[in-house]
Structure 1
Amino acid sequence: STHAMEIRDSFAKARRGGSARDSASESIASRAAGSSLPTVHTIEDTKVEGTDGSATTEKKEDTEHQAAIEEERARQAKKEADWDASWTKRVQVAGTGETAWQGALATYHIIGRLGSSRGDVFDDSRARGLPVMLLLGRQAVVPGLDRALLAMAAGERAHITVEPVGGYGAAGNIQYPRVPGSTTLWYEVEMLSLDKETELWDLDFDSKIQKADERRQRGNALFRGAHFKEADEEYEQAARYLHFMPNVRGEEAKLVQAHTATLNLNLAASKLRCGFEAAAISFAQKVLEAQPNNPKALYRIGQAYTQLGQYEAARKSLGAAGAASPA
């Protein structure tokens, strides 16, 4: 039959190097041109350029991404507005110095109570024996208090009330200081001084070493008084000065290394007391990188593993600490 001949011709073409599938398709298409049968097309024949949907999909993804960004901006703006409205301040003694500013180094005494002026005390710098020192506007304290401190002047005494939204919120704080959820915070603050903190890159080498040592000594005093969270914060502040030491060489490099090792041991101890065992191990290991047999670093790691319940690792580290200790 004619159809059988077409098939044979297709196979003959294939043997000559052509494609049997293409030959058969061409024959069927030619036969269909003179009949009522529809033309058979290959997939390539039906592809239309620019209709794969990729451009539309990308545009949709961009629109969704932009919408998510705008939604996050609106959420953050509302949060900032809530924080701004969360605090009130009643001046007890007017300040005699300039008003605080973003980034000012504030030194102040503070007493914090739960709920009201008659509530339980959860923070008391006078009882610790050292005033607080921090850079304002850096979210080092709860948002409502941070904003209230920025509204104070040097020498001022004030009572500050912070609603839960500007404090520890509905969840409260399970770490130190322990604060129940949805609790209003009441503070008595005396702003002792406001100073301009010299930018790190403007400080010379000796000034950085001096400031790091001052903050570390403050941390030591707080640690001895069992104020471990505050001590940890002081050690972290000290670390800022030592970390920003570009291009030190020779004796200066050795001095930075020695101060850093001491501070890392302090941080390992304070992290342990605050319950941050992984961080304690990390700081101790930094010491071991330069001093592989440092007994204090090995001992801190052993303590951390003990607190984590990893007793085999603890025995190994404590044994190494004992072996490395001077007789």
Structure 2
Amino acid sequence: MGDFNSNRSNKVNFETKIQDSQEIVIGKEGLRKKILQKGNSWKTPFHGDEIQVHYRVKLQDGEFFDSSYDRGKTFTFKLGQGEVIKGWDERIATMKKNERAILTIPPNLSYGETGSPPLIPPNSTLIFEIELISWNSIRDISGDGGILKKIIKEGQGWATPRDVDEVLVKYVASSADGKILSQSDDAVEFSLMEGHLYPAMKKSLKTMRKGEIVELIVKPAYYFGNSSFDGDGDGIGILQSSNSNLIIHLELISWKSVVDVIGDNKVLKKIIKAGEGYDHPNEGSLAKVVYIGKLLDGTIFERKGSHEESFEYVCLEGQLYENLDRAIMTMKKGEEAIVTINSHSMFYEIKLVDFNKEKPFWKMETKEKIEACDKIKNEGNVLFKDGNFQCASRKYEKASKFIQFDHSFNNDEKCRANTLRISCYLNNAACKLKMGEHQEASELCSKVIEYDPCNVKALFRRAQAYLRINELEKAEIDINKALEVDPTNRDVKVMYKELKNKQKQYTQQEVEIFSTMLSKLKTIL
């Protein structure tokens, strides 16, 4: 802790502070503390951080023999790395910036049985007055010591970039002896998905806040990424051969938030201008937008709306390309964004001018719920007739949600709701059959049969689904039940013939397979 110098002048003040403050015991090894001045922050340093302190020290019942104040220079060390006595490592980890305290450190937490002759005898208790001036946070970003991040300037706020965001940075990469290997003359923008130059930069930027400046100490294993190196090739080669560290001075100027709309990185929304508030459109919202669709070469292939008159449409009703529609549903009023679709083959420049959300069903009166269900079901019917089965299916699903909970309905309303519910399930099952989603179709029909075991349409459509997935025994049960209820139903009779033909085909196939097996067996014998 520096050269030992005498400092008798501060003895009276020091002892007065000890008498005036209240002492507490820390831990179970005899470390005691008295706070002289509280810190001005809630933060405390972590192990590995680079600490700057001022201190004075004396022996118990002795005089000061060392002081950083007298030297006019703070004492610097790394916390928790064994660079100072154990009592310092334990206590300073709990201090806040500008906190001043008196520590009474027993021999077992200082210089022990050997002491530090000639000024510190064996088994000496030391009295320190310590002031925590500041610290530079050092983090092990890679978890294996390969990338250490030292914070030079704290960033703003709490947010950090995510994997898909686009960052704007400045950097200087150099060898440990100060030779510059690569640097950004101007700010550089790149996507964290793709990275830039060194993988250490990509990994570290995801831990940084806006305006944060850091120094990265990078081991050779983290020199290169997938992107091509554009720095001093000879310089980095020398670093590799000598197994030397790479030093990167890195500043995160800002970043543009990117939203992975679908969850597979194929539809990405980059926010150019933030919107208002927290709300965004949902299914059925009336949205007003202005957008331009472009190919990568700048060719415009679609344009909707203008600054004078925006384009109005209803969300998720098939009026727009679905992935674009879903991207708009993540936007806020007034937000401007660029949406990239299908691995960057095309993109849209979009502004969500305004939107009106539908009234949620839990805020509706019972009459409103029934009316909304009927209205949306009829909208689904129109879409079904037009062959838009996917959008029609979504309409039926949405309609049924309005009457999902009918405990507050009166008897007449429950009867009407049950009729609508059955209709929505049956119509949605028809959509699922058209789309080849046979399992989903059978499940919807089963819901109807729970309400009405003799519903011929439900039995018929479930039998259709079973036939398509070759569940012939289940199909036969439903067909027979339907014929019991309605023996003259033409559609069910046609399906019965189809079932019998399939059963006959399977019987023939089984006979052929058995005959082939017998022939092979005879040949062997």
In the alignment, the residues of structure 1 paired with residue 323 and residue 388 of structure 2 have an alpha-carbon distance, to the nearest angstrom, of 16
Which has the larger Rg?
Answer: 2
Q: Which residue of 2 aligns with 1:132?
A: 314
2:96 corresponds to:
none
What's 2:472 paired with?
311
Tell me what 1:247 maps to.
Answer: 408
- Structure 2 distance, partners of 1:112, 1:237, is 30
Structure 1 residues 235-287: Cα deviation after superposition (integer angstroms, max 9, x where no partner): 11112201133332422211111111111111211222223222211111111
Instruction: Compute the displacement of 1:218 (Å).
Output: 1.2
**Which among 106, 123, 142 is matched to residue 285 of structure 2?**
106
Q: Mapping of 1:268-287 within 5 angstroms?
A: 268-287=429-448
Match of 1:231 in 2: 392
Which residues of 2 match residues 84-103 of structure 1 at below 5 A? Answer: 86-87=268-269, 101-103=279-281
Contact 1:108 1:189 in 2 (8 A): no
Q: Which amino acid aligns with 1:303?
A: Q
| Structure 2 residue aligned with 1:324 | 485
What's the TM-score, normalizing by structure 1?
Answer: 0.52
Counterpart position of 1:163: 340
Inter-CA distance 262–311: structure 2 relative to 1 (3 Å threshold): same
Distance 1:147 1:251 in 2: 37
Q: Is the 2:376–2:399 Cα contact (8 Å) retained in structure 1?
A: yes
Which secondary structure state, in structure 2, belongs to the residue aligned with residue 83 of structure 1?
strand
Identify the residue that residue 15 of structure 1 maps to in structure 2. none
CA distance in 2, matches of 1:297, 1:308: 17
Q: Which structure has the higher relative contact order (CA within 8 Å, separation 6+)?
A: 1
CA distances 1:65-92 after superposition (whole Å, capped 9, x unpaired): xxxxxxxxx99954684317933699xx
- Percent identical across equivalent pairs? 23
Range with bigger deviation, 209-218 or 144-153: 144-153
One-letter code aligned to 2:362? W
In the alignment, what sits opposite 2:34?
none
Shift of residue 147 of structure 1? 5.7
Would the alpha carbon gap of residues 142 and 247 (structure 1) be closer, same or farther in structure 2, given more than 3 Å must change? same
| Deviation of 1:113 (Å) | 7.7
Q: Are residues 103 and 321 of structure 1, via their aligned partners in 2, closer, same or farther at CA, if it must alter by over 3 Å?
A: same
Higher helix residue share: 1
Q: CA deviation at 1:196?
A: 3.6
Quickly say closer, same or farther: Cα 1:151–1:262, change in 2 above 3 A. Answer: same
Note closer, same or farther for the CA distance 1:278–1:113 as it changes in structure 2 (3 Å cut): farther
Which segments of 5 or more consecutive residues in structure 1 lack a partner in the other structure?
1-73, 91-97, 122-129, 165-180
What is residue 47 of structure 1 aligned with on the other side?
A: none
The aligned residue for residue 83 of structure 1 is: 259
Matched AA of 2:258: D
For residue 145 of structure 1, what is the aligned residue in structure 2? 327
Cα distance in 1 between the residues matched to 2:353 and 2:333: 14
Deviations 1:33-79 (A, max 9, x none): xxxxxxxxxxxxxxxxxxxxxxxxxxxxxxxxxxxxxxxxx999546
Q: Secondary structure, in 3 states, of the residue corresponding to 2:279?
A: coil
From the two aligned structures, give the one with the greater strand fraction: 2
Cα distance change, pair 147–185 in 1 and its aligned pair in 2 (3 A): farther
Determine helix, strand or coil for the equivalent of 2:343: coil
Residue-by-residue CA offset, 1:101-159 (whole Å, 9 max, x unaligned): 325652359999895697999xxxxxxxx953359xxxx95697236653559xxxx9x
Q: Aligned in 2, Cα 1:187/1:79: closer, same or farther, shift over 3 Å? A: closer
Q: Does 1:300 align with 2:461?
A: yes
> In the alignment, what sits opposite 1:214?
375
Q: Which of 227, 241, 266 is matched with 2:427 structurally?
A: 266
Q: Distance in 2 between matches of 1:76 and 1:279?
A: 40
Aligned partners of 1:326, 1:99: CA distance in 2, in Å?
A: 61
1:164-219 C-alpha deviation (Å, 9 max, x unpaired): 4xxxxxxxxxxxxxxxx625454598989732432322211111111111111111
Give the partner amino acid of 2:286.
T
CA distance in 2, matches of 1:144, 1:262: 28
What is the alpha-carbon distance in structure 2 between the residues aligned to residue 309 and residue 109 of structure 1?
A: 47
Q: Is 1:205 aligned with 2:205?
A: no
- Give the corresponding residue for 1:10: none
| Root-mean-square deviation (Å) | 4.5
What CA distance in whole angstroms lies between the structure 1 residues aligned with 2:354 and 2:439?
37
Give the AA of the match of 2:339.
V
Seen in structure 2, the aligned counterparts of structure 1 residues 322 and 186 have a Cα distance that, compared at 3 Å, is farther
Query: What SS is found at the alignment partner of 2:285?
Result: strand
Structure-2 change in CA distance of 1:326 and 1:195 (3 Å) = farther
Mapped to 2, the partners of 1:274 and 1:76 lie a distance apart of: 40
Question: Counterparts of 2:353 and 2:381 in 1: how far apart (Å)?
Answer: 22
Q: 2:505 maps to what in 1?
A: none
| Deviation for aligned residue 1:323 | 3.4
Partners in 1 of 2:395 and 2:292 — Cα distance?
19
TM-score of the two chains, using structure 2 as the length reference: 0.34
- Aligned counterparts of 1:186 and 1:276: Cα–Cα separation in 2: 31
8 Å contact 1:268–1:300 — kept in the other structure? Answer: yes
| Residues 161, 184 of structure 1: 8 Å contact kept | no
**SS in structure 2 opposite 1:243?**
coil
SS of the equivalent of 1:270 reads: helix
Residues 228 and 193 of structure 1: is their aligned pair in 2 closer, same or farther, counting only changes over 3 Å?
farther
Q: CA deviation at 1:302?
A: 0.9
Structure 1 CA distance for aligned equivalents of residues 323 and 407 of structure 2: 30
In 1: Cα distance, 2:391 partner to 2:292 partner: 15
Structure-1 separation of matches of 2:364 and 2:469: 40
Kept in 1, the 8 Å contact 2:281–2:331? The answer is no
Report the Cα distance in structure 1 between the residues aligned to 2:444 and 2:378, rounded to whole angstroms. 18
**Matched residue SS, 2:315:** strand
SS in 1 for 2:453: coil
> Contact 2:442–2:462 at 8 Å: present in 1 too?
yes
